[in-house]
């Protein structure tokens, strides 16, 4: 048996699924240039090599890579 709260949640979900978003529709440009996709090997080569045996070193390497990426923005 479906509870009244579940019915209300489903009703809200169904109503929002039919909503239109004019702000997003106005931004859509069919002639827009999309970024090129890169091969997985090229993306994997840019990742830092992390030793999974040492979780602290892995976290440190991840944070340093993230900081470098933010600096290069």
Q: Is residue 68 part of a domain?
A: yes
Q: Is residue 16 part of a domain?
A: no
- Radius of gyration of the chain from Cα atoms? 23
- This prediction has a pTM of 0.32
pLDDT tens per residue across span 7-66: 999 888 888 877 777 777 677 777 878 788 888 888 877 777 766 677 788 788 889 999
Q: Is residue 18 part of a domain?
A: no
Looking at the structure of the chain, the number of domains it has is: 1
The domain of 61 spans 48-73
The distance of Cα 52 from the centroid of its chain, to the nearest Å, equals: 24
């Amino acid at each position: 048996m479906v509870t009244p709260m579940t019915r209300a949640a489903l009703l809200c979900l169904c109503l929002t699924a039919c909503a239109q978003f004019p702000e997003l529709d106005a931004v859509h440009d069919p002639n827009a240039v999309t970024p090129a996709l890169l091969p997985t090997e090229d993306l994997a080569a840019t990742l830092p090599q992390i030793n999974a045996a040492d979780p602290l070193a892995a976290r440190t390497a991840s944070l340093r890579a993230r900081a470098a990426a933010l600096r290069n923005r």
